Structure 1
Amino acid sequence: MGIVGHLTKEQLLGQKARTVTTILAMAVAATLTLATLIGIYSARHSMYQKNIQSTGGMQFAISQLDRQTAKAIGKDSAIAQSVVYQRQGTVDIKEPGVAKTMASPLLTLPKAAMQRLVKPVVLAGRLPKQPNEAILAQDLVTKQNRIGQIIQSRQQGKNIQLKIVGSYRGYAGLLPPDGVLTLGTVTGSKGYTVAAAFKDYSNFYGKLQALTTQYQVHSRQLAINDLALERAGESRDVKLRVMFALLVAVILGVIGFVSLALIYTSINLSVRSQTQRYGLLRSIGATPKQLRRLVYSQAAMLAFPAFLIGIGMGIGGLAVAFHILNQRFMVQGNTFRLFLVIDWWPIFLGAIFMFLVTLVAAWRPAHRAASVSPIAAVQMLPESVKISRRSRRPSPIERLFRSPTAKLAYKQYRRLGWSKLTMIATLSLSLMIFIGLTGFFRSVLTLNNETFTQQADVTIASTAAVDAIPWTFEPSKDAGIKQATVTGTKQMQLAHAPKAFGDKVNVIVVSNRLFQTAFQNQPTVLTSSQLVVNSKTGQREQRWQLPRDFSGTLQLINRRGEKQFTYPIRVVTKTTAAFGKWQFGDQSGLVLSRDRYLKLLKALAINDRELDYSIQTRLTQAKFHDSVAKILRKMVPQGALNDQIANRAQESSFGLAIQVMVYGFLTLLTLVSLANIVNHIFANLLQRRRSLAMLQSVGMTPRQITSMIGLENGFLFGTSLVIGSILGTGLTWLLYRVANTGIAFNYRVPWQEILIAGGMLMLIWAVFTGVSHQILKHQDLDQLIRLS
């Protein structure tokens, strides 16, 4: 350790209180930096893990390989795990209403591949346990090809029979969307597919390019879990990657701004408190360059333990937050989990960032220390403050105060000069960031397009002929279904309709009994509404999909060549909110019974009898959603299921996770800013101890001086709160105007955030006032007054 190192060590040990305070200030900044970087990386990795489950942990699959190539790829040094399956034949699937048959690939999967690739995407039924059992892609399931049925197939040139035991989501993984899968062993030399994953997902597409080039694989042979890789940051879209990098840069820029102010204040106060020491070092031969090195060395030596503390606090805080969130996810039945990933690059980037911020913060104090003249330092008296004429004149506000202590406090507040402006600016900006961003994110995280209709809990949708739709579906309440509604929809042409209708209308078909019970056998135009935000006025409006006051005749038409068939029908209009007992969701259109719809088809000479239909259910209790989903899947094997209860639980969990991360970041950012303010205020108090001791010597009690200081800080905090609230409200409005698309969210004045900010300032004011009183009670007046 050289001379500079010894001097730095002595200087830091000589002022232990100031050293500890500076380390803690730097540690708060380091905690914010590391918690942000590790939190972003962990969140992206967690989303990757969630989405990679659909492919059993496999990132990609390469098909149409020979046995030797498939084996070589699986054993490649870049591959961490792999499974192999083989196409061994075809299955002829007869589609409803289509004369030709479709040859679907018959894939044979060993047990390991079946567990990895198929189990995560099973839709109904179970996995095959025997070679004569099969599981079909969802699109292949029909009345003729459903669970329990036998299908004919050809496997390696032989005719075999397979029993259907389940179905899988064909578009959710790396398997073909039209495949028939069976359990068995791979044999022969052709038709192999290898599904694999690299040891890590960094530079995924670069590694994949090298692998495909090495084994001469064409791009059409590839299937990739793009969604999982996008969540991990390995997107093919360069714009997305650039936008993410810019987002991280902006976040680090904000952190750097507040951290720079905090660390600069701490180092500057340390340098100012040892001005005479630097002057004496100059008098015995120290050069300005050596003094600058001394300050830089002091800053770096303080930054090292602060960074270690920041690592511990950042990782520890994230671990606690992730644990609490994961417990919440488990209670809600959500399979999403947050994984805390501690990699080298966030820590390395955080170390470089903190080092640069510390050097920049120490630059001005270092030059100030180097510019001290030896003679001026030895003879230096407390700095006299230049007071302007305007500050010496009594202000109108000052005349309102009756108490001498209050008058003195306000005079001192007006005469603080640049230090007052610096503190007000710093605190106002901190409050602006907290109020503006927190108010905006609270609006975004509670975003919803509000409707006036209640959504169904579990819905399944499909397409079938009118006669094949289960109109008489009557579920048992024992199954947990409170109400069920079956509706079919078909779009038809209109002639001479009001402008609001356009030239088409959705015909909503319901059962005869429901049409009689709910609509009294009256053709009804059903209309729903949404609360949307007018992009011009910023006000919420209730917007109807169809006019709610229409009553008259609609003419439905069908043009066939030169002929035109018309069907006039007299209607009334009602809102979906009036039919809350029945599940119509947000559907708008003309409601007809099944029989009336058949008459309509006959009158318009329409031969197409197919409808897009859905079974919408409302449950007695939310816990029955899984069992109801199984009932509906069994009824409509090829249908698309929408479990709104599960979706809401997942959205709630994701929303909670995002809220914790966003508010956690804003809270840490605010704490750093407030720590900077506290540092400023305490430094101001310590610099004024001599003048405060003089006030005590002429008869003012510690309580009166504490009241005076409390009023000064009250003026400071009050001014900053007013300015910060105005700026924060403006920032919220600006972000709202930029983000609002006309149907997003309503603007809200951030009163809640302003009240929280005011509460925080009152707490700091109370703590500081108490500490000031203790300092004033125990200070040595004689020593402070004689201090030169």
Structure 2
Amino acid sequence: MNIMQKLTLRHLKENKRRTLVTVIGTIISVAMITAVATLAISFLDLIQRQEIADRGEWHVQYHNVSEAQAEAIKNDVSTKGYILSGNRGYSYLEGSQNEYKPYIFVKEYNEGGFENFPIALSEGRLPETPDEIVLSVEIMANAKVEYEIGDELSLEIGERVFLHEEKQEDPITQQYSLKVVDGEIQEIIENTVTKTYKVVGIIDRPTWEPAWSPGYTAITYTDETFISSESPVSALVILNKVDRSIYNYAEQLASKINLDTKFISYNNDLLRYYGVTNNDNLNSTMFSLVAVIMSVIIIGSVALIYNAFAISVSERARHLGMLSSVGATKRQKRNSVFFEGAVIGVISIPLGVVFGLLGIGVTFWFINRLLHDALNVSVKLTVVVTPMSILIAALVSMLTIFISTYLPARKASRISAIDAIRQTTDIKLTGKAVKTSKLVRRLFGMEAEIGLKNLKRNKRKYQITVFSLVVSIVLFLTVSFFTESLEKSIDLSQANLNYDIQLTFSQDRLDEQFVQSITSLEEVTDFSIIKQATFQAMVDESNISAPLKDLVKEEPDLLEQGKYPYYVDLYSVDDETLVRYAEKVGMNTSVLFDKAMLPAIVIEKTKYEDSKQGKFVEIETIQTSVGGKIDLYYQDWENEQSEFVDAITIGALTDELPMGVTYGGGVGGLTMFVSEEIFNELLTLDLEKRVESNISIYLESSDPLKTQEEIEELNNGNTYIYNVYKSRQQNQQMILLMSVFIYGFITLITVISIANIFNTISTSISLRKREFAMLKSVGMTPKSFNKMINYESIFYGVKALLYGVPVSIGIMYLLHRSMMNTFEYRFELPWMSILSVVIAVFIIVGTAMLYSISKVRRENIIETLKQENI
């Protein structure tokens, strides 16, 4: 250690407070960088483990392999795990009481499959031979077919074939629901073979089985010795190393074992979380976000650390000048500052990494309770530490310290002996630079004028303090506004959802007994059953909406014989709901079911986004009156023909919507409501095969969560349940989850800024001891002195708010404009957040000033005036 380094260490020891503030600020910045890097890696690990928990672990799949090919794949040096998987086929489930799930679907795995796929055994054991099988618990619970462990099960296993269709090239998988037309099943099982199995266990319903699949899952055993042309299997591989080379490697291996490359597929859903899928932007989005956050952290950290070293150079200017006068070179003086940064780094970086890992660990412990509801995951978020993440945190921290020390080091190297001893480098002033308005003295007195002059005289320190405050103000207000906007957007997205639970069915007709069971549940307070089909209506030019009239003036070819083609969403509502709805909109209920008249309630007003105006506007969808007629057509898009269906009579015009319908049409669209009887009348037997219709049930419930549980117990496996209440809760949990991270980040940035402010102000006050002593010596009273300091605090706060608040409002408005691409609501400033910021700014600055003044208040005037420096 040379003499310059020893002097630098002694200087750090003598200025313990400033050194401690710098070390703490650096530790915080390193901890934040470590936490962000660890968060990104840990979150990727979470979604990798969740994907494995849901769908199993594998990377590459080789289809239709022979025994020799399977052995070669198994023994390949890159293979870490090896799975054999086959779809044996479908068999009718005798006695099934679920008409939409009439099959058993037999799948087979080797031991690797049992280990790496999510198979939850609830009773018995897993198969060990091809003659053993485990059954899904749903066969007993849903299909009401009883099997016990030890039973013999004889199945005719084959492949599904759709009737009245051309030859199918690919097997029909579980992803395809049962094909039913007019209540009749339009598929059969062909090419069957008889297999007898012994039931050795019961499993939970596999997570990979779609809700609409027509077969209950059963699993048996296979291995290489049972592979044949009649029993093809796939080899799924878990690789030792997952990177972008797997694509070339898989093709090379396939070529080596004489397997066509068209029989290779990849688990892209899992691979993208390893960052090896080229067509996915998840990783680029995440790492871009991490880069932005780290950039903000570095900017805040550099502001603090640079300020600390710049002040250090100012304090040591006289000292460095004296060293220069006795032979210290520019390089030695520059290296002295770099050495100071290195010492700070050696202390701060290890501690910062440790505190960053501890902090993110505590955060994960807290948010794991929210993750299940917010992200619907079954695995926990754990801290994943990799050498790369630690190395990145350390390197970024070193870069931050280097940037912070570079300019002060250059400045230190250029200080001449004469200038340093005379201390003329820091303050170079003219009368114009410190000139203040006469209005300041008139309004606030001489103390305010002296305080303002001092801020102008120490402009650099003043700007650093203001910058630190502005960063905190902008971050806090922007994040507050963003969080409020998210909440408001969620409320708006669900504002028109006038129901609690929606049930959608995969079939084109309802099980009346199932519907009765649902609608009679104790917590269900109201319901509506809605069918929907799409038609076309030809409307006279005189009756079309105003925006369409403007459009056809520009493009007359849109009209067909003076009429404009509207698309029509035709809904049928159950009779009870329809009567209540008709009474609400003022329609005569006596004609509701008149099949000769075909009355309909038509939505006459709707909102849509006008691209020219850049906002949502309300329009009349059609300009007509009650009693008017609307001709419905069936549009055959394949043959480019229109077929007349019937004429609808407008029974009422309204902008009210019944439960379950949230959209009243748009420009060129109509929404109509008719009775079930009229709806079925319009869907003639000929049209019924061509017009797609959807069925949904909408429920209002006093306890939506309990109602959903009861429906799931009744569910026959062909119903999709959307719980609006639960979705809203999940969104709120997601916002809370985001808030934990965002406000934690803002808190740490604010801590850095506060440390910066305290450091700057307290050091500035310490350097002004002689100035204060001089003012007191010429008659400034303690009261006037306190007034001067208070005014300085006010000037700091006001200047920071004058910059910070407008910048924040600008960013908030940009966020609001981006939200307007989807939602419409008035731009409102978060006044409570702004008020909180105003109060916090003056508290921070005032506290920093009071703390600093407490250190110099009791100084002896004579002794202070005699001092050359602090």
Which range, TM-score by smaller chain?
A: 0.7 to 0.9
Alpha-carbon offset, residue 171 of structure 1: 7.7
Tell me the residue number matched to 1:344: 387
1:518/1:386 CA distance change after superposition, 3 Å = closer
Residue 235 (structure 2) pairs with residue 194 (structure 1): yes
Deviation at 1:718, TM superposition (A): 0.8
Please name the residue that 1:717 is paired with. Answer: 797
- In structure 1, the partner of 2:680 is 598
2:161 matched residue in structure 1: none
1:550-575: CA deviation from partner (whole Å, max 9, x where unpaired): 63322223479797453332331334
1:535 to 1:305, Cα distance in 2 relative to 1, 3 A: farther
Deviation (angstroms), 1:72: 4.9
Residue of structure 1 equivalent to 2:738: 658
| Further displaced range: 341-350 or 275-284 | 275-284
Q: Distance in 2 between matches of 1:391 and 1:620?
A: 70
User: Does the 8 Å CA contact 1:89/1:154 hold for their aligned counterparts?
Assistant: no
2:249 corresponds to 1:210: yes
Mapped contact 2:370–2:737 kept (Cα < 8 A): no
Q: Which residue of 2 aligns with 1:99?
A: none
Unaligned runs of 5+ in 1: 95-101
1:694 aligned to 2:774?
A: yes
Q: CA deviation at 1:299?
A: 0.4
Does the 8 A contact of 2:506 with 2:718 survive in 1? Answer: no
2:219 match: 182
Once the two structures are superposed, residues 19-53 of structure 1 have per-residue CA deviations (whole angstroms, 9 ceiling, x without a partner) of 21221122222223222222233233323333332
Asked if the contact 2:610–2:617 (Cα under 8 Å) also holds between the matched residues in 1, the reply is no
Asked if structure 2 preserves the Cα contact closer than 8 Å seen for 1:452 and 1:528, the reply is: no
Bigger Cα displacement from structure 2, 617-626 vs 117-126: 117-126
8 Å Cα contact 2:633/2:646 also seen in 1: yes
Counterpart amino acid of 2:227? S
Cα root mean square deviation, aligned: 4.4
Query: Quick one: distance in 2 between partners of 1:622 and 1:62?
Result: 45
Unaligned 5+ segments in structure 2 are: 95-101, 122-135, 142-146, 158-172, 546-563, 583-588, 593-598, 666-670
- How far residue 783 of structure 1 moved from its aligned partner, in angstroms, is 2.6
Matched, 1:508 2:571: yes
Q: Deviations over 1:276-303 (max 9, x none)?
A: 3323333343321122122111101101
Residue number among 708, 711, 728 corresponding to 1:648 in the alignment = 728
Task: Give the distance between the partners of 2:290 and 2:375, measured in 1 at CA.
Answer: 32
- Superposed, 1:313-462 pairs within 5 Å as 313-329=355-371, 334-335=376-377, 337-378=380-421, 380=423, 386-389=429-432, 391-392=434-435, 394-401=437-444, 403-436=445-478, 438-440=480-482, 442-444=484-486, 446-448=488-490, 449-450=492-493, 452-462=495-505
- Asked if residue 623 in structure 1 is aligned to residue 623 in structure 2, the reply is no
- Name the SS for the 1:339 alignment partner: coil
- One-letter amino acid of the structure 2 residue matched with residue 189 of structure 1: I
> What SS does structure 2 have at the residue aligned with 1:591?
strand
Shift of 1:265: 0.6
- Quick check: 1:80–1:196 contact (8 Å CA) kept in 2? yes
Which deviations, in whole Å up to 9, do the C-alpha atoms of 1:748-784 show, x marking residues without a partner? 3343442232132122123223313421333343332
User: Structure 1 655/433 Cα, relative in aligned 2: closer, same or farther at 3 Å?
Assistant: closer
Q: Does 1:290 align with 2:332?
A: yes
- CA gap of 1:673–1:16, structure 2 versus 1, over 3 A, is closer
Task: Work out the percentage of aligned pairs sharing the same amino acid.
Answer: 19
Please say if residues 558 and 564 of structure 1, whose CA atoms lie closer than 8 Å, have aligned partners that are also in contact.
yes
1: CA distance, partners of 2:207 / 2:575: 34
User: For residues 711-750 of structure 1, what are the structure 2 equivalents within 5 Å?
Assistant: 711-737=791-817, 740-743=820-823, 747-750=827-830
Q: What amino acid does structure 1 have at the position aligned with 2:249? A: A
Aligned residue for 2:867, secondary structure, equals coil
Q: Shift of the alpha carbon at 1:376?
A: 4.4
Alignment size in residue pairs: 765
- Output the CA distance in 1 between the equivalents of 2:837 and 2:486: 20
| Structure 2 letter corresponding to 1:398 | R
Q: Does structure 2 conserve the Cα–Cα contact (< 8 Å) formed by 1:524 and 1:572?
A: yes
Deviation of 1:196 after TM superposition, in Å, equals: 4.2
In the alignment, what sits opposite 1:272?
A: 314
Tell me if structure 2 keeps the 8 A contact 1:114–1:183: no
State the Cα distance separating 1:332 from its structure 2 match: 7.6
What residue number does 2:153 align with?
132
Q: Residue 137 of structure 1 aligns to a residue in which SS?
A: coil
SS at match of 1:652: helix
Query: Partner letter of residue 768 of structure 1?
Result: A
Q: Cα gap change, 1:732/1:125 in structure 2, threshold over 3 Å: closer, same or farther?
A: farther
Q: Give the C-alpha shift of residue 262 in structure 1.
A: 1.2
| 2: CA distance, partners of 1:377 / 1:4 | 17
8 A Cα contact 2:503 2:696, kept in partner = yes
Instruction: Quote how far apart the aligned CAs of 1:374 are.
Output: 3.3
Aligned to 2:648: 568
Task: Pick one of 753, 758, 768 that aligns with 2:848.
Answer: 768
Pick closer, same or farther for the CA change 1:114–1:516 going to 2, 3 Å: farther
Matching residue within 301, 305, 326 for 1:263: 305
**Counterpart Cα distance in 1 of 2:34 and 2:107:** 48
What are the equivalent positions in structure 2 for 1:469-488 lying under 5 Å apart?
Answer: 473-475=516-518, 477-478=520-521, 480-488=523-531
User: Of 619, 633, 636, which aligns to 1:557?
Assistant: 633
Name the CA distance, whole Å, in 2 between partners of 1:391 and 1:377: 23
SS class of match (2:438): coil
Counterpart code for 1:706: N
Whether 1:781 aligns to 2:826 is: no
Change (3 A) 1:667 1:528: farther
C-alpha displacement of 1:691: 0.7
For residue 197 of structure 1, report the CA deviation from its aligned partner: 3.5
Distance in 2 between residues matched to 1:133 and 1:587, nearest whole Å:
54
Instruction: Tell me: CA distance 1:770–1:125, structure 2 relative to 1, closer, same or farther (3 Å).
Output: farther
C-alpha deviations, 1:380-406, integer Å up to 9, x for none? 5896652424744652232112x4434
Change (3 A) 1:170 1:357: closer
Residue 164 of structure 2: aligned partner: none
Tell me how far apart the structure 2 counterparts of residues 532 and 718 of structure 1 sit (CA, whole Å): 44
- One-letter amino acid of the counterpart of residue 544, structure 2: K
Within 5 Å, which residues of 2 pair with 1:87-106? 87-88=87-88, 91=91, 106=106
What SS class does the counterpart of residue 409 from structure 1 fall into? helix
> Cα distance 1:48–1:125, how it changes in 2: closer, same or farther (>3 A)?
farther
Aligned partners of 1:567 and 1:603 also within 8 Å: no
Distance (Å, rounded) in 2 between the aligned partners of 1:72 and 1:7: 69
Once the two structures are TM-superposed, the CA of residue 233 in structure 1 deviates from its matched residue by: 3.8
Match of 2:544 in 1: 499
The 1:8–1:505 alpha-carbon spacing in structure 2 relative to 1, beyond 3 Å, is same
Q: How far, CA to CA, are the matches of 1:333 and 1:260 in structure 2?
A: 35
- Structure 1 pair 3–211 and aligned structure 2 pair: CA distance change class (3 A): farther
For 2:673, give the aligned amino acid: V
Pair 302,64 (structure 1): closer, same or farther in 2 beyond 3 Å: same
1:62 aligned partner: 62
CA distance in structure 1 between the aligned counterparts of 2:80 and 2:27, rounded to whole angstroms: 39
Q: Secondary structure at the match of 2:226?
A: coil
Aligned-partner SS, 1:700: coil
The 1-side partners of 2:207 and 2:649 are apart by 42
Shift of 1:422: 4.7
Q: Find the partner of 2:785 among 705, 709, 732.
A: 705
Instruction: Tell me by how many angstroms 1:692 deviates.
Output: 0.8
**AA partner of residue 33 (structure 1):** I
**Alpha-carbon contact 1:457-1:618 (below 8 Å) kept:** yes
Task: State the distance in 2 between where 1:120 and 1:653 align.
Answer: 28
Cα contact 1:61–1:222 (8 A) shared by 2: yes
Query: Matched residues in 1 for 2:573 and 2:197: separation?
Result: 40
